[in-house]
Amino acid sequence: MNDIATLRHARRNHTVNLSMTLLLLEALGALLILLFIIWWTMFSGRKKGELPEEVEREKAERRQEPPRQE
């Protein structure tokens, strides 16, 4: 009887270990997808980086001007 109980216990432990391993792999996959999405959104902008300061200044000035009445 002890042999059967030992086998059942070993099989149950193996199932729990396999379940935990799969759960950890799934969490790791989700983390990698999240990091990829963050990386993609941070570095998929303009080809040559940000606009020069002069262009940024001009854009800011245009935003501050009141609309023209024609």
Average confidence (pLDDT) over 49-65: 76
Tell me what pLDDT residue 4 has.
67
Domain locations along the chain = 1-43
Whether 44 has a pLDDT exceeding 90, the answer reads: no
Residue labelled with tokens 């023209």: 68
Cα 68 from Cα 58, distance rounded (Å): 17
pLDDT digits (tens, 9 = 90+) for 16-36: 788 899 999 999 999 999 999
pTM: 0.49
| pLDDT surpasses 80 at 55 | no
CA dist., res. 28 & res. 26, Å (int): 5
List helix spans (H) across 1-70: 2-43, 53-64
